[in-house]
Chain A
């Protein structure tokens, strides 16, 4: 029934690339009991038991995102996309049929850092057995066949062609390319129309062989299975994968250190605007101070300074936001909006004034209100299996402490105004930011 309902949410803040990860628990609050261990083959396991519903979610994340593409831009995404299309025992239709006939759902996703494959299944024994047996073969026994590769390459190219005329995409790709230069984060995850020409079935198989190995995997399990079952499941999922090598660390990107402004002429009614610079990596000690500050500036929707100045007072935009996207190494910090071409320059001015003002000072009330929100909102962030899976997968993949969900809110609680101002003024340099406008700004 309800598919594709056409709703207009009031404040659809555009989805951030990376959900600002949060938080935490407070003393009196329900906490999440995360258990972690290694499989015999060296994969990391993250597990939370949740028995209320007869269902199970598993995500297996490999350090095999597009940062591992080397010169073959798009190969990581293509590998992830073809994972599970066919195995040595089942053709493509049979793989789909196996999962669909028992109501199990399979998904895959790829980012700059990771490539993951996930499953959601009912835990009735015969269903779960079938689901997990087949899921395991997708991970270890995918057959990358030429006909499927050729077809998916054609589909990929159509998608890339389509993206090449979307102003928001043009803006994002320009942003990464300019901020990251020759760094592995610089190119789009899906590759480019030019770059995917060089991907071959052999290069894809080689990529799979190198990165889809147990040492390079983090398995996250949430649902109606006990610890003994979870252990068994994790072993099973890795049983036919080689131990392999963990992927090496990435080099840190270098900041551009000077202001740069890029305008791309595009025939649209709005100008797509971003102001950006390098931010921080996951696990950075200043994260809590930057995170709290970002919520005040533009990360919390309606109460944020940017929203008040650009939308509420002046009616220039539907959406304006800011975020840090911490990754394995420094991800970007950015402020983004879209506004009619005629108000692009005015919006730019208001954004800069708001940022400058924030870097000087903000009220104690604002700080307290944001802390209340972040701390009081904890239970909402872990009220479903899907959300818990997201957190433990992040904690596992980025090697954050197991008690991160309790630790982070305590950090938030302790952050002072001075901490926020100091961290922001150290990391954010308004005079050295990259400004990108796609449209016909006036």
Chain B
């Protein structure tokens, strides 16, 4: 029923006073080491815990055809030992501290993190700085891990029609940009990687001058800086060459694909190329990004938003519908829509219903009430977000990794507040254009699921 779909902002003016007076919201302290590694620290004394993360500026948007997914497999290999540590030992040490740890790979960054009691900060820094430059990447370990990644791909994508649809949708919406590729890589690329590929990728990108350290928790920024100098300061920088531009070609007409999948219900995805704070060439385009953010919240910020209110509840033409846009991507992104038609409604009717909402936005101004709701939600989200040190660290790391200021989130609501109804209408007209749309439709392949269970019972242990 009433679930907020988004983790980030929506918000209210009338009742918003400055919340900042209530709690002193800790600011972020920034340092740069001599080897050009960035350090960001945010103090949060609510628990004797610290989140420690290292973010490398590399991900699937840095990759080329034939080598897709190499950033992701390298992330797996980072747990396979260094000159001083056996495979898996890193995780065991952190586990014994009572810590939790993991890593994730995205389009523009690869991040490694530990959450530990604050007394262990120096030790996790020592471990993380060691694997920044000293991993041992053997052929044998690599081949095993490559198999693990093929299983991961099967689990995430191959047996999930919705996962396949998204992948093929992205590959259609982006033709020349690396956003064409899935983060995990295409299966045939995965199968053909070699350990040497991963070693080269590591050498090329894993260096202090291509990394950001983020620490959030019960720490003093100066202490963190001193520790960072001690542990990370000794790592030598690498010459980092920016990836080739691979700019997305202009779209001159609608693109459309159909996927027949193992599903019982059709669904659609629609997307339009859109700028981001990073790609914006000037202030005017930056303003457009915030207008697009407001637009996306008005369509799908919460269950008062237009898609749910008009299409799910009132017209009942779709069982669910959503819109999504992330103005903090490093490359040109997509303003997206998704929908599952109601029972018996053909997908083209759901698509027409989305267009009807888009067209309203192009012709009529959004109401002041809608704008205020977007602001109220964003203000509140800003507070809620501080309940989790990890979420605070994730936001900081992802912003800085794509080249945005660390305080981007702190000024977010103020930027949204400047957006006018006219600007919202203007970006709807400019970007949600019928010649710029990519549509992907998933339809049932008509295969019946055979559920012929054969039950074999044994009285005893059948091993």
Residues of A within 8 A of B (CB): 1-11, 29-30, 50, 52-55, 80-85, 92-93, 96-97, 99-108, 120-122, 124, 126-127, 151-152, 154-155, 157-159, 161-162, 164-165, 167, 170, 174, 258-270, 300-303, 308, 311-319, 338-340, 349, 352, 356, 369, 372-380, 382-386, 430-431
The 8 closest A-B pairs by CB, nearest first: A376-B98, A103-B380, A431-B461, A315-B147, A377-B98, A383-B47, A318-B152, A315-B144
13 more A-B residue pairs beyond the given contacts A53-B387, A314-B144, with a C-beta to C-beta distance below 8 A: A7-B104, A7-B105, A8-B105, A10-B79, A10-B102, A50-B46, A54-B19, A92-B313, A102-B376, A158-B319, A262-B453, A316-B151, A380-B49
Q: How far is the CB of A111 from chain B (nearest CB, A)?
A: 16
Q: Which of the 9-residue segments B124-132, B205-213, B322-330 touches chain A?
A: B322-330
CA distance A379 to B218 in the complex (A): 12
Residues of B within 8 A of A81 (CB): 1
Q: Kindly identify which residue among A102, A161, A167, A430 contacts B461, using a CB–CB cutoff of 8 Å.
A: A430
Q: Which of the 9-residue segments B222-230, B233-241, B258-266 touches chain A?
A: B258-266
Residues of B within 8 A of A124 (CB): 15, 17, 19, 22
Residues of B within 8 A of A308 (CB): 88
CA distance A258 to B463 in the complex (A): 13
Given contacts A1-B9, A10-B75, contact A158 B265 (CB under 8 A): yes
29 A–B contacts, CB within 8 A, in A order: A4-B6, A4-B326, A6-B107, A7-B106, A7-B183, A8-B104, A10-B79, A53-B386, A54-B19, A100-B373, A101-B12, A121-B380, A158-B342, A159-B319, A161-B264, A162-B264, A165-B264, A258-B459, A259-B459, A261-B457, A265-B451, A265-B453, A266-B449, A373-B97, A379-B117, A380-B98, A380-B100, A385-B387, A430-B461
Residues of A within 8 A of B105 (CB): 7-8, 10
**Closest chain B residue to A161 by CB distance?**
B264
Residues of B within 8 A of A (CB): 1-12, 15, 17, 19, 22-23, 46-49, 72, 75-76, 79, 87-88, 91-92, 95-100, 102-107, 115-117, 143-152, 154-156, 158-159, 183-184, 262-265, 293, 301-304, 309, 312-313, 316, 319-320, 324, 326-328, 340, 342-343, 369, 372-373, 376-381, 383-384, 386-389, 394-395, 398, 409, 412, 447, 449-463
CA distance A318 to B116 in the complex (A): 25
On whether the beta carbons of A3 and B8 are closer than 8 Å, the reply is yes
On whether the beta carbons of A158 and B457 are closer than 8 Å, the reply is no
On whether the beta carbons of B46 and A383 are closer than 8 Å, the reply is yes
Q: How far is the CB of A388 from chain B (nearest CB, A)?
A: 10
Residues of A within 8 A of B340 (CB): 158
Given contacts A4-B324, A107-B2, contact A383 B49 (CB under 8 A): yes
On whether the beta carbons of A165 and B262 are closer than 8 Å, the reply is yes
Residues of B within 8 A of A378 (CB): 98
On whether the beta carbons of A52 and B23 are closer than 8 Å, the reply is yes
**Closest chain A residue to B460 by CB distance?**
A431
On whether the beta carbons of B107 and A126 are closer than 8 Å, the reply is no
Residues of B within 8 A of A102 (CB): 12, 15, 376, 380
Residues of B within 8 A of A121 (CB): 380
Q: Kindly identify which residue among A52, A104, A159, A372 contacts B380, using a CB–CB cutoff of 8 Å.
A: A104
Q: Kindly name the residue among A100, A264, A315 whose own CB sees the greatest number of chain B CB atoms within 10 A.
A: A100
Q: Kindly identify which residue among A152, A164, A374 contacts B449, using a CB–CB cutoff of 8 Å.
A: A164
CA distance A269 to B447 in the complex (A): 15
On whether the beta carbons of A154 and B158 are closer than 8 Å, the reply is no
Residues of A within 8 A of B328 (CB): 1-2
**Closest chain A residue to B75 by CB distance?**
A10
On whether the beta carbons of A302 and B91 are closer than 8 Å, the reply is yes
Given contacts A108-B1, A259-B462, contact A151 B313 (CB under 8 A): yes
CA distance A278 to B377 in the complex (A): 44
Residues of A within 8 A of B463 (CB): 349, 352, 356, 430
On whether the beta carbons of A269 and B460 are closer than 8 Å, the reply is no
Residues of B within 8 A of A5 (CB): 106, 326, 398
Residues of A within 8 A of B150 (CB): 340
CA distance A11 to B115 in the complex (A): 15
Q: Kindly name the residue among A7, A93, A263 whose own CB sees the greatest number of chain B CB atoms within 10 A.
A: A7
CA distance A265 to B454 in the complex (A): 9
CA distance A92 to B313 in the complex (A): 9
On whether the beta carbons of B3 and A380 are closer than 8 Å, the reply is no
Given contacts A6-B107, A318-B152, contact A55 B264 (CB under 8 A): no
On whether the beta carbons of A122 and B383 are closer than 8 Å, the reply is yes
Residues of B within 8 A of A430 (CB): 461, 463
Residues of A within 8 A of B453 (CB): 174, 262-265
Given contacts A1-B328, A54-B383, A151-B316, contact A164 B23 (CB under 8 A): no
CA distance A195 to B316 in the complex (A): 23
Residues of A within 8 A of B183 (CB): 6-8
On whether the beta carbons of A154 and B148 are closer than 8 Å, the reply is no
CA distance A83 to B3 in the complex (A): 12
CA distance A107 to B2 in the complex (A): 6
On whether the beta carbons of B387 and A384 are closer than 8 Å, the reply is yes
Residues of B within 8 A of A80 (CB): 1
Residues of A within 8 A of B17 (CB): 124
Residues of B within 8 A of A54 (CB): 19, 22-23, 383
**Closest chain A residue to B184 by CB distance?**
A8
Given contacts A53-B23, A106-B2, contact A386 B15 (CB under 8 A): no
Given contacts A1-B327, A319-B155, contact A303 B95 (CB under 8 A): yes
**Closest chain A residue to B117 by CB distance?**
A379
CA distance A376 to B431 in the complex (A): 52
Residues of B within 8 A of A159 (CB): 319
Residues of A within 8 A of B104 (CB): 7-10
On whether the beta carbons of B103 and A9 are closer than 8 Å, the reply is yes
**Closest chain B residue to A376 by CB distance?**
B98
Given contacts A52-B23, A338-B151, contact A373 B343 (CB under 8 A): no
CA distance A108 to B3 in the complex (A): 8
On whether the beta carbons of B313 and A311 are closer than 8 Å, the reply is no
**Closest chain A residue to B408 by CB distance?**
A1
Residues of A within 8 A of B383 (CB): 53-55, 122
On whether the beta carbons of B106 and A6 are closer than 8 Å, the reply is yes
CA distance A92 to B312 in the complex (A): 12
Q: How far is the CB of B370 from chain A (nearest CB, A)?
A: 10
CA distance A334 to B150 in the complex (A): 24
On whether the beta carbons of A265 and B458 are closer than 8 Å, the reply is no
On whether the beta carbons of B304 and A316 are closer than 8 Å, the reply is no
On whether the beta carbons of A30 and B326 are closer than 8 Å, the reply is no
On whether the beta carbons of A162 and B263 are closer than 8 Å, the reply is yes
Residues of B within 8 A of A83 (CB): 1
Residues of B within 8 A of A6 (CB): 106-107, 183
CA distance A431 to B378 in the complex (A): 55
CA distance A349 to B276 in the complex (A): 51
Q: How far is the CB of A362 from chain B (nearest CB, A)?
A: 15
CA distance A103 to B229 in the complex (A): 41
CA distance A270 to B46 in the complex (A): 44
